Each structure stands twice: as C-alpha cells, then as structure tokens.
Structure 1
C-alpha cells in the first residue's frame, strides 16, 4: 500500500473514523494532514513521520512520541497522541487549532501568550523525572551531564556521517568543551527546541515539536528560543525570564543560558550539513542551507559576544556576470512563472526556484568570495591555500591543533566567511540573504540556582 492507503487503514482500524481527505504537508519533513470524521464529529489529525533518508534524527521518532504522550498525561498542553503506524513509520496525533506566530495580536496579547508559555515551561520543569524515565525518555548518566547530553547526541550523529572538513563546527565544539556548563545539579524534562507553540486568539493552545526533547538542564529551554525570536519576536528575554521565575521555574542562570545558546546555534549545522554535502533527491536543499547559514552566523556572533570581540563585516564582491547569466535568469523567470495547484508540488517548485537564484548568485560572486576566503587564511596559516577544499582542510587542522590560542582571531575570520556565504544565497535584500541577529545578553554575572 502507498502512504495514504496505510494512513487510511490505520485511522479506520484504530480510531474507528472515516478519512475524508489526506494532504501531504508542504514541508521538509514527512507529515500528513488528515481530515477524518467519527460519530458524526470532525476528527482533525496530524501524522508525523521521519526526516528524509539523508537527515538522521538525534532521537528516535518513537522517543518523540513517548515524550509527547507522557507530557500530555502530566497536564502539559500538547497534541493528544493516538498511536504508532509501524509501516510508515509515523505517529498519529490530534491536529490542534491556532497558529505559531503572533500576527494580528497586540503587543499586550503577545505578552500574555508568552507569560502563559513561560509558565508552562516552569510547570514542565518541575514535574517529577521518574515517570518520564520509566517511559523511556532519555537522560544523562549523572545530573552533571544534563547540559551536554543533547549536544553530544547531535555531535555523534554528525561525526558518523561526516565526510568533509568543517572547521567552523570543530572550532565552536572545541570551545564549548573547554568551557563547559556548570548545571549545578539541575535536571528536568525539557523540550529543548523551545518556542514552538500554537496560539489562538491570544491564548496558548499547545506546545509543539518535541523531537529533540529529553531530560536535561532546564536552562536549555530558556536558551533555544533566542534564535527563533529573530523570526517570531517573543519580546524582551529579561521580562520572559522574570515571568518564568515567578511561575515557579528554576532561578535563571544567565551564564548557563548563554553557554546553552552558543551550543544550540550549532544544531542546524550538525543536523543538516552532511545532507547538504550529499543531498538526497527529495531533500529541501535551500531550506537546510538557509537555516545553516543563518544559525552559523548566530553561533559566531554568540561566541564573539561571550568573548567581547567586535565583529566587522567584509566587503561583498561586486557582481561579475558570466556567460551563463542570461540562462540563469531565464530559468528563474520560468520557475517563477509556473503555477501548480497541488500544495506539495508547489513547495517542491519553490525549492527549485530558490536553488536557481542561489546558483545565479554564486555564479555572480562565487569566485571572488572564494578568493577572499583563501586570502583571509594567509595571516593565520602562513600561506594561501590554492583551492577552497584545501583551505577548509588546513583551517580545520589549525583549529584542532590550536586549543583556544587564537579564539578572537578565528571568531573574526569565521564571521567574514559566513557573511560572504550568506550574501551568496540570493539577491541582496532577499529573505535568503538577509540576516537577523539575536537579542544580546545582559552584562551581568550568573546567578545561583536551586
């Protein structure tokens, strides 16, 4: 049976419902919107599958389902879990109302939703760990390891599939290992990729997407939203952290939050870079590339903020059209002018359009940008590598041997490289080429926690 037939049969057999429509969601991860009816009442469902074959998950899909189900059993608002479809694989949950952003809400209404959200995180963090661990939710061997368990999983998956140098990742991972978080014994159930929710008419409906949640340091849930805030705009984090404490959460350890923020900025690169190096045909290449480019800049900015380094952007090369420039423009115009009714096919067409614009921009400035990257390496390495492949390999070797002696200089170098890369994702001013910086941290010492 095909995927839709499997879903149709499972819903009928396990929920006693009649499926009226199944729609493949237009996104990078396998998911289906199911409109069903049971006893004359609508039963909207979401079937959530795995990532593409080239993007392994850090925690098994069943782990995600187990965490979500157990959260719901303990009063945390999450979509009801109905069960597991072994043949896909996927799990079935209720499809909740609402939307992820705050469009149409006043600032006061947005703030009320966020107070409720921070209070929900506080309740989650104060739940007993034992029922979750008994259900199979993963945990570090000791509380002292709670702050590294998640990022270690990301690193393990990345290293297993790594087939090319990645000096940026090695630099930031190395810095984090030399500057570990002191969790002070904190442990709780966390969603980690926090800030994902649905609100309806200014009221929190549900927490969503717990795929990397586990038992870890609760400060991780206060760090992760700082990147998503650049898109959704949650409000001032000082105010949000106060709301979390007042709702009964742990005292906020700003030092730990900052270190967890630096670690979380790496997760897109760790999750998607191996796929970008060897993409499967169905891979959403441009979304993955955009996420990595944006959050890699967040990583360098966050580390520079911690080190007190002022970052200066490089000069972006001017456009030098090649012989292929006219053909590139023809392809872009063709893709832009094609209309398709099917939502998933339209999504795939949008990927192709963004890919064409990236290739056009790379054709315009790619050679000059690569040369600038290689020129940048001469003061550090003592010579200029002849190719970008050689440059990446030698820069990674330098980083691994350096052990922190050139942290400030490397921050500046990686920032220039990432700005150049970002500028090649699309034309100036486009969403793909535009960067949004995270809110800065307050300049205060860390506070004790309980």
Structure 2
C-alpha cells in the first residue's frame, strides 16, 4: 500500500491496520492515535496494558522513489535495533509492520529545539553529549551491520564516496532531464577524493538529529540513510543541519571536541569535501521528483529542498575551491502575465475551510506552491533567458531553448578539467543566486535564502 494516499478512507484503513498490528504484537489496546502533520506518514500512539500506558512512535513509508536503499524502512529498523543493543541512545524497536510498512518504536521524550534549553551552558552540554554519542557510534565494530546487508566499502576512494555510490543508482534511474550543476559537482568530487581516509565507520549520514529533556540527550533519531563510510561525513551533514537546527554550540568548537574525544586529527578540507558530497547527493535524491512531479508527492517540500540544497552545493564548492560567491545584479518584477488568475487561485484556496490539523498542513502546502508560482510567473522566463546568455558566452554557441542549453552544458561539464572549474562555478552560482533573489521571500524559498556554512 502507498502510504502517501491521503483520502479519508485509505487513511483510516492504514491507521486501523497499524493499531491491529500493535495490539497483536504487544497486547493491550491502542487508546490514542495522533497523526503527525509531517511530510511523511508518522503517528504517535498510546497502548494500554493493564495499568501501564506504553507510548509509541510509528514511522511509516513515505512512498515515492526517493530512497537510495531498497527496503529502506526495514533497513532503518534493523540499524536502530543494532545500535540500541550496543549502547547508542536510539529509540527501542518493538517490531516491524508489513502491511502497511511501518516501524513501531519507543516514543522518546524530548525536543530538538535547543532554544528550549535553560541557558548556553546547557546547550553546550547537550551538543557535547551529542558528539559523545556520535563518536561512540563511529567506534562500533561493523560486523553486525554488514551481516544485516549494509555495504562495507574497501579502500580510501570507496570509503570517501560511499554516499555517492549509494545515491547514484537512484539518481541515474530516475533522471528525466539534464542536470548540469549536479554533473559538474560529481566531476569535481571524483577528481578531489581524499586518498588517505582508509578507516570506515557506521555513519548516520543525515546527522545532527537528537532529542533532549531536562539537560540530557535522550536519543539520536532518523537513520534511514545510515551507511558505512567516512566518519567525517557525519560532521559535514551535522554542519549543514546546524544552519536551520542549531546543534547547541558553534560548529568549530564542536568539531574540536570531536577531535578530542575521537582522537581524530583536524581535517577541515575533508569536512569541506563531505559537505560538498552530502549536499550533492541530497540534491540528486530529489532531483527527479522536482523535474517530473508525481501526484501525491509533497511538492512544496521537494521544491524547498531542491533550491536550498542547490545553493549549498554551490557554496560548498566555492568554499572548497577557496573562492567567493558574488551576488548578481538583478531586476525583480513583482508580478507576471497571470497575476489576476493567480489572485483568484489564492482567493479560492483561502475559502477552503478545514479543521483537521493534518488536512490544514496539506492546505498550507498548496498556499506555498501558489505563492511560489506567482514569483515563477513573474520571473521564470527572464531567469532562463539570463541562464542562456551566460551559457552561450561560456560555451560559444547559441541555443534554441533552455533545455537544449542545459543538455549542452551537462555534456560539457562531465568531461571538463580543473581549468574550467572557476568559470563553471561562477555560472552556476549566478544561476542559483538569481533564483534565491526571486524566490527567497517565499515560504518555499526561505530555507535557501538563509543557508550558511559554519566556519571550521
């Protein structure tokens, strides 16, 4: 069953199947069901067994083809179970539901919002507790994880590029249009692999995610992309997350603490490499869903990810190359030829009344897309025209349309040498910075407008 289906009948059936499974698995009666207003299916439930109330979190299958790993939900459950057995603070896994696919796990108390901590000293303590847990995970033996099917890379190149090797088949399988920026980043990454990183570790890969309560870290969470690779990949992804979910202390200070606890030497260039790699594969992951949208997908979320991650790719490449990104001069038109029709659409959306929190979340997603569409109506043709003028100047040829330009640019970047890195980066930086100027004031573009890579 596709868990992304959201009509009332299918939603009720999904929830009933999960409740039935839990009651059979654990005994007792599910007395509370709370569908969380997230972009992927998730519930909190309470199970009563005699005088005991068991608090559960249900992590469902988000549907769509956006995961680099087959059977990713079961893989995550296995990984969490192994981590818990070896003392890493993660939710306890009670079981795995086959229909619909879902992990039944402990609902761990706490919040991720470090602004809720009592003061800066507590925030620093929490951040250090998180680093302690990360180091403990990185030092685990790997045999049990390999036995569960997690690939073990061998050699420095395979260890450094574990994330790329995991995500590339998904990207290649679903690619429907040219992706010149991503192909440029892939070319650069393959030419700049750290050749001395020869010790693999289990890495969360989408790291920086933890809960705390009363000054104590209660759990790490979200291991759907866990793999074996370079442990510094976790520092890179935590560094990116720190931009919108602060870790609790300046990243530079936490990286120094990581070195102290782990015994790792300082390797800022490797962290920069993995920042570029993680932002690239994350963009690859959602590139086809943006290029070829499918009904039922959380389109607002995917577009938000796409523009923000592309900007991080460009800024991470610039950081690794040691160059500054300049903001292009742009003239922004506030409205386009369909302004009146879009105004009517906004009015129609505002007239829709819903009381269910989950449906309210979906209605807000529509509002965000309509707002984004208004900016696109005003400026997309001009953005594409400017892209074409710059690409034509760089490649020395003219193009009939934007897609043919992107195809020619992709063909060029896949084999371009280091001598072309700076002019190509300049071109891609201009493209994404102009888009942030246009869309950054929208709810979808807000993340992209605030990206920042903390200093190392």
- Do the structures match in fold with TM over 0.5? yes
Q: CA deviation at 1:119?
A: 0.8
Contact between 1:30 and 1:52, CA under 8 Å: does it hold in 2?
no
Match of 1:63 in 2: 75
Q: TM-score, normalised by structure 2?
A: 0.91
Match of 1:377 in 2: 391
Inter-partner Cα distance in structure 2 for 1:426 and 1:329: 20
Contact between 1:374 and 1:386, CA under 8 Å: does it hold in 2?
no
Contact between 1:52 and 1:282, CA under 8 Å: does it hold in 2?
no
Match of 1:445 in 2: none
Write the deviation string for residues 388-444 of structure 1: whole angstroms up to 9, x where unpaired: 1111111111112323331001111101111222334364698637522333544xx
Q: CA deviation at 1:137?
A: 3.0
Q: Is 1:411 equivalent to 2:425 in the alignment?
A: yes
| Unaligned runs of at least 5 residues, structure 2 | 1-9
Q: Is 1:137 equivalent to 2:154 in the alignment?
A: no
* Larger displacement relative to structure 2 (389-398 or 415-424): 415-424
Q: CA deviation at 1:321?
A: 3.0
Match of 2:307 in 1: 293
Q: Is 1:259 equivalent to 2:270 in the alignment?
A: no
Match of 1:10 in 2: 21
Which one of 159, 162, 179 corresponds to residue 146 of structure 1?
159
Inter-partner Cα distance in structure 2 for 1:32 and 1:430: 25
* Larger displacement relative to structure 2 (419-428 or 122-131): 419-428
Which one of 395, 413, 418 corresponds to residue 399 of structure 1?
413
Match of 2:92 in 1: 80
Match of 2:4 in 1: none
Inter-partner Cα distance in structure 2 for 1:426 and 1:72: 41
Q: CA deviation at 1:49?
A: 2.1
Contact between 1:31 and 1:47, CA under 8 Å: does it hold in 2?
yes
Match of 1:202 in 2: 215
Q: Is 1:272 equivalent to 2:286 in the alignment?
A: yes
* Larger displacement relative to structure 2 (432-441 or 1-10): 432-441
| Unaligned runs of at least 5 residues, structure 1 | 443-450
Inter-partner Cα distance in structure 2 for 1:109 and 1:162: 45
SS of 1:224's partner is: helix
SS of 1:273's partner is: helix
Report 1:108-127 matches (<5 A). Answer: 108-127=121-140
SS of 2:439's partner is: coil
Q: Is 1:179 equivalent to 2:192 in the alignment?
A: yes
Inter-partner Cα distance in structure 2 for 1:214 and 1:318: 43
Q: Is 1:248 equivalent to 2:262 in the alignment?
A: yes
Contact between 1:147 and 1:183, CA under 8 Å: does it hold in 2?
no
Q: CA deviation at 1:326?
A: 2.1
Inter-partner Cα distance in structure 1 for 2:94 and 2:263: 30
Write the deviation string for residues 275-334 of structure 1: whole angstroms up to 9, x where unpaired: 112222211111111112112111111111111222111223321633421221232244
Inter-partner Cα distance in structure 2 for 1:94 and 1:429: 33
Inter-partner Cα distance in structure 2 for 1:75 and 1:252: 27
Match of 2:3 in 1: none
Contact between 2:304 and 2:448, CA under 8 Å: does it hold in 1?
no
How many residues align structurally?
442
Contact between 2:197 and 2:230, CA under 8 Å: does it hold in 1?
no
Match of 1:40 in 2: 51
SS of 1:93's partner is: strand
Contact between 1:422 and 1:433, CA under 8 Å: does it hold in 2?
no
What RMSD, in angstroms, separates the aligned Cα atoms of the two structures? 2.1
Which one of 174, 198, 203 corresponds to residue 190 of structure 1?
203
Q: CA deviation at 1:122?
A: 1.0
* Larger displacement relative to structure 2 (48-57 or 406-415): 48-57
Q: CA deviation at 1:99?
A: 1.3
Write the deviation string for residues 324-371 of structure 1: whole angstroms up to 9, x where unpaired: 212212322443464422122111111100110011111111121111
Contact between 1:54 and 1:280, CA under 8 Å: does it hold in 2?
no
- From the superposition, tell whether residues 143 and 393 of structure 1 become closer, same or farther in structure 2 (CA, over 3 Å): closer
Report 1:295-444 matches (<5 A). Answer: 295-319=309-333, 321-336=335-350, 338-425=352-439, 427=441, 432=446, 435-442=449-456
Contact between 1:183 and 1:256, CA under 8 Å: does it hold in 2?
no
Q: CA deviation at 1:172?
A: 0.2
